[in-house]
Amino acid sequence: MLDRIVQGTVPRKHHIAFRDAEGRLLYEEAFTRAGFDGPYTLVYHRHRPHATHAAAVRHGWTLPQAAPPRALLKRHYRTQDLRTPAGPSASARVPLLFNADVTIGLATPTVEDPVYLSNGDGDDLFFVFEGGGLLRSPLGDLRFAQDDYVYVPKGLLHRFVPDPGPQRWLSLELSGGVHLPTQWRNEAGQLRMDAPYSHRDFRRVEWKGPVDEGIRELLVKRAGAFHAFRFDASPLDVVGWDGAVYPFAFPILNFQPRAGLVHLPPTWHGTFAARGALVCSFVPRVVDFHPEAIPCPYPHASVDVDEILFYARGEFTSRRGVGPGSISHHPAGVMHGPHPGAYEGSIGTRATNELAVMLDCYLPLAATPAALAVEDPGYQESFVG
């Protein structure tokens, strides 16, 4: 959640009678988190938003299942080799790694969603490393493009309309919800002046008026299963809303990286926080400026977190054999670091053009059979020499 905003028409006070120009009573929906204790948005509908029929489930993606237990090794999965399903975002998603807090996968929609979708299992955070399109919701539309993070709140009805051309989105389903790291906020809730982004760096959903697309079907993911409902009227019947829970996009290149005299740990690149996970953005930047600095990361074992690195673009100076679309998984406690020669070779370098998304995950991640099918079997040995 970013900040509280108001779009469209809302009554002068919450929870009071609100009527349209013809005198018809409108219906207030309280879209809340943490019961009624967390961030919320009040949404004003023309129709009763809870009037739904049970319906048959016609969409959904393959839900994550763990492959049999394996040795504790450094892993490299090549999503560029993944056989991705065609179809709308409501079915074209492949989970690769998961724990109770986060499911990491790839979304590759080829057509627009013919139904609305609501993910009741967590917030969705996509990183669009190829493609772009439109997210439509009762709160409005959100355009997004390559290199954008796209945030979709848990339980928000929405659908995707991808642009023509290939779509490859890193998908992160975060069951505990996504927020901006608290250290980037001041006591008024503003992003601090020394935060790595400002409020203006985010693109918020834009409400333009009630919409009837003729779509009445809603697919709900909840408790690891898909369910369906049907409306009698368009659920995009909103005349206005007021709140802090809404979709937004954040272009990763708006992230303001830091460089230090010597190497800074990844927490300085923290972009989004969630229960059991921290999402970091590695963007092109100058590197450490001590004359004897070693810009490549020091070998480490991260005994408390499984580390995921998704390589989007650029030269990955510390690793070889990885390319755009690669995901490395370094389990907690397994020592890792630069590939042979990279540590020494980094001395004296002044900049890096790498673009990557990193995840620290506190619970161990399990791989799915789909991940195993695109695993690079030589990765563990590639660190030896």
Query: What residues make contact with Fe ion under the rule CB under 5 A?
Result: 307
Least distance between Fe ion and beta carbon 302 (Å): 6
Least distance between Fe ion and beta carbon 297 (Å): 6
Least distance between Fe ion and beta carbon 352 (Å): 16
Least distance between Fe ion and beta carbon 1 (Å): 29
Least distance between Fe ion and beta carbon 290 (Å): 21
CA pair distance 257, 196, nearest whole angstrom? 7
Cβ distance to Fe ion smaller for residue 147 or 307: 307
Least distance between Fe ion and beta carbon 249 (Å): 28
Cβ distance to Fe ion smaller for residue 186 or 267: 267
- Calculate the CA dihedral of residues 74, 80, 81, 86 and round it to 10 degrees: 130
Cβ distance to Fe ion smaller for residue 124 or 307: 307
Nearest alpha carbon to residue 149 among 290, 286, 268, 248: 248
Which residue is nearest to Fe ion, using beta carbons?
A: 307
Cβ distance to Fe ion smaller for residue 43 or 102: 102
Least distance between Fe ion and beta carbon 177 (Å): 25
Least distance between Fe ion and beta carbon 300 (Å): 6
Cβ distance to Fe ion smaller for residue 173 or 307: 307
Cβ distance to Fe ion smaller for residue 62 or 302: 302
Cβ distance to Fe ion smaller for residue 242 or 307: 307
Residue 224's identity, in one-letter code, is: G
With tokens 């005349």, the residue in question is 239
Cβ distance to Fe ion smaller for residue 179 or 339: 339
Cβ distance to Fe ion smaller for residue 284 or 337: 337
